[in-house]
Amino acid sequence: MAVEYNQWTGLFLPKATPEPIVKSYRDALRAAINDNNVKTILNNAGSPIAYLDEPEFQAFWDKDIVKMNEVVKRIGKLD
């Protein structure tokens, strides 16, 4: 039996957040993720960075939901 475990973190804003605020968060997060000190700290903590911006994250999210639903069904917790 194979076991796979993934943990990810995402930043979510309310749907009605004005685009300039979304852009500000997006730019700040991208800058932090690209900072060498942040990269070093996260890598040393065993949390490698896999930054996805909104379109890529949405695609990842959509796939992950399907996968997790199948896992939950397989263990008998969802009909």
Supply the pLDDT for residue 66. 92
pLDDT for 58 equals 92
Query: pTM of the predicted model, to two decimals?
Result: 0.68
User: Along the chain (79 residues), what's the average pLDDT of each consecutive run of 10 residues?
Assistant: 77 95 95 94 89 91 90 79
pLDDT at 77: 72
Angstrom distances, CA of residue 50 to CA of 11, 32, 42, 57 = 13, 13, 11, 10
* Predicted pLDDT of residue 28: 95
Instruction: Give the pLDDT score at 1.
Output: 66
